[in-house]
A and B are shown apart, each in its own frame.
Chain A
Amino acid sequence: QQPVQSPQAVILREGEDAVINCSSSKALYSVHWYRQKHGEAPVFLMILLKGGEQKGHDKISASFNEKKQQSSLYLTASQLSYSGTYFCGTERVDSSYKLIFGSGTRLLVRP
């Protein structure tokens, strides 16, 4: 079962913030976040392993609420290079060692 991502798409002006959400109906062991630009392979952003864990680098961070099986990706002071499609990948407790990706969130950052 595919995790659900929201919103499906978002348009920002450079410098604005955005939040992308990912939720699963199943218990999760970990949540991964990737960004894919058109015609390219997805690129790893971060992994969150523990309930309540938060991670971040630069102006992109994420949180993982293990009890709610939800994760959020936070993009602050967005840059043009942030444009792309963001996917969350979930590793389920009952089906570990494989990653199932969400439907994706298309982000466009305009000047």
Chain B
Amino acid sequence: GAVVSQHPSWVICKSGTSVKIECRSLDFQATTMFWYRQFPKQSLMLMATSNEGSKATYEQGVEKDKFLINHASLTLSTLTVTSAHPEDSSFYICSASVFPGQGMGKLFFGSGTQLSVL
């Protein structure tokens, strides 16, 4: 099956620093990747849709200057949390759709990144 690798699994950083999270599709090409954010015991909130070679599409209320997304290749998308603050602490998880042709194909998720900002 399709595998999505996400790194790091967890990161602790000081307030004001930037953190980069990588999401790779290991055995398939993902033209589209999705970034979600999840607070404890809550749902997955879509942050943005990442398209290879073009700008990401952000959901309403998501600050694109704070959450920089780059999808430079068909197998790699990165999320950079810039000038992180404690309220940015959360579980960030990426996913990729294998067959986006007829509507959404099933999503394969990375293992997620737990970010803690001190």
Residues on A lying within 8 angstroms of B by beta carbon are: 2, 29-30, 32, 34, 40-44, 47, 49, 87, 89, 91, 96-104, 106
Contacts and interface: CB of A to CB of B under 8 A. Distances in A.
Given A32-B104, A41-B93, A99 B111 contact: no
Contact of A32 (B93, B107, B110, B112): B107
18 contacts: A29-B104, A32-B106, A32-B107, A41-B109, A42-B107, A43-B109, A44-B106, A47-B104, A49-B103, A99-B34, A99-B104, A99-B107, A100-B46, A101-B36, A101-B43, A101-B44, A102-B43, A104-B43
A77 B34 CA distance: 34
Given A32-B104, A47-B106, A91-B103, A99 B43 contact: no
Nearest to B57: A98
Q: What is the interface of chain A mostly: helix, strand, loop, or mixed?
A: strand
B11 to A, nearest CB: 16
Given A40-B111, A41-B111, A97-B49, A87 B104 contact: no
Nearest to A88: B43
Nearest first, the 8 A-B pairs at minimum CB distance are: A41-B109, A44-B106, A101-B44, A91-B104, A103-B43, A101-B43, A29-B103, A30-B103
Contacts of B109: 41-43
